[in-house]
């Protein structure tokens, strides 16, 4: 399945991008489920506390020095009851720089990130 994302998914990632651009680690952490899982090559992080998300993003701000705008291509690539898999290609400085698959889950009427893993560009 590959389809354009519904409005609420776009809104979620607009909010996520704003938190990234504002370097708001607390705001980003608020968008993650606890527990969550961050799966990077050679590094799997089981997130059991909100502080872990904040620390993870706070430590990464340097790699985005000078980035003032984020573009995104958002596509839903899978669905299940109360769960979506969303492919997001992030662009800055005129080209796609990062691409991730986010598993979003619905908890208490709110959507949040349960799993994030990088995808090939």
Q: Please tell me whether the overall predicted TM-score, pTM, comes out greater than 0.85 for this model.
A: yes
Nearest to 103 by CA among 83, 74, 81: 83
pLDDT, tens digit only, all 121 positions of the chain: 445 778 999 999 999 999 999 999 999 999 999 999 999 899 898 999 999 999 989 999 998 888 999 999 999 999 998 999 999 999 998 899 999 999 999 998 899 999 999 999 9
Residues of the domain holding 77: 3-118
How many domains does the structure of the chain reveal?
A: 1
Beta strands at 3-4 and 71-80: parallel, antiparallel or unpaired:
antiparallel
For the domain that residue 16 is a member of, what is the CATH number? 3.10.450.50
């Amino acid at each position: 399945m590959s389809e354009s994302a519904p409005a609420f998914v776009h809104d979620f990632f607009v909010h996520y991008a704003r938190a990234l651009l504002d370097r708001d680690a607390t705001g980003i952490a608020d968008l993650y489920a606890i527990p969550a899982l961050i799966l990077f090559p050679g590094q799997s992080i089981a997130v059991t506390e909100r502080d872990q998300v904040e620390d993870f993003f706070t430590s990464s701000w340097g790699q985005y020095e000078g980035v003032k705008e984020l573009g995104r291509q958002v596509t839903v690539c899978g669905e299940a009851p109360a769960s979506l898999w969303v492919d997001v290609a992030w662009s800055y400085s005129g080209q796609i720089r990062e691409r991730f698959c986010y598993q979003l889950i619905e908890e208490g009427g709110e959507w949040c990130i349960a799993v994030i893993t990088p995808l090939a560009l």
